[in-house]
Amino acid sequence: MSATGLSQLPPAVLEEGQRRYTAVRERIAAAAIRAQRDPDDIILVGVAKKQPVERTLAAIGAGLRVLGQSYIQEARTIRPEIEAALAADSATADLRLEWRMVGRLQRNKAALAARLFDAIESVDRLELVETLERRAKTEGRVLEVMVQVSLC
């Protein structure tokens, strides 16, 4: 996709994105109320793996602000495309998204992950945490890292 703005997406794509986003938010709100939680305290992470850029942009247009990716190479391609499309539209030029790595991360891809993501979920090895910390420092960044702990 070229760097056309969000407002240039076909109306049917935008409407479908809004419909899907609204349906998920409604399910989240209902579950939150059952659990006696504030629905606004729940972060919706839209996992965009293997989705067309247009579909991801439609979800962003509907209100999605946290994007998850489980493939480094895909994130490396899709993030610049999405950011260029948002920057091309004055209504979304200043929009800030949060990018999360939601799949298993290999240590040899830690440098790229530290550049591409704001948060890394499900880190299961101390050596990977240490590698991510070093790589993030090199990039001048601080990463949010969620550690997976086996209780058995």
Residues 18-66 pLDDT 10s? 999 999 999 999 999 999 999 999 999 999 888 899 999 999 999 999 9
- Which pair of tokens denotes residue 80? 């610049």
Averaged pLDDT for residues 78-103: 93
Band of the pLDDT at 84, cuts 50, 70, 90? Answer: very high
Full strand arrangement of the beta sheet holding 66-69: 45-47, 66-69, 98-101, 119-123, 144-147
**69 or 122, higher pLDDT:** 69
Averaged pLDDT for residues 9-19: 95
Average pLDDT, the chain: 92
- Which pair of tokens denotes residue 97? 């998204």
Distance CA 106, CA 135 (A): 13
Find the angle CA(26)-CA(27)-CA(31) to the nearest 5 degrees: 115
Distance CA 50, CA 18 (A): 19
Averaged pLDDT for residues 116-139: 92
Band of the pLDDT at 135, cuts 50, 70, 90? Answer: very high
Distance CA 64, CA 44 (A): 7
Distance CA 55, CA 2 (A): 14
Given a cut of 60, whether residue 107 has pLDDT beyond it is: yes
Alpha carbon 2 to its chain centroid, in Å, reads 20
Distance CA 6, CA 133 (A): 35
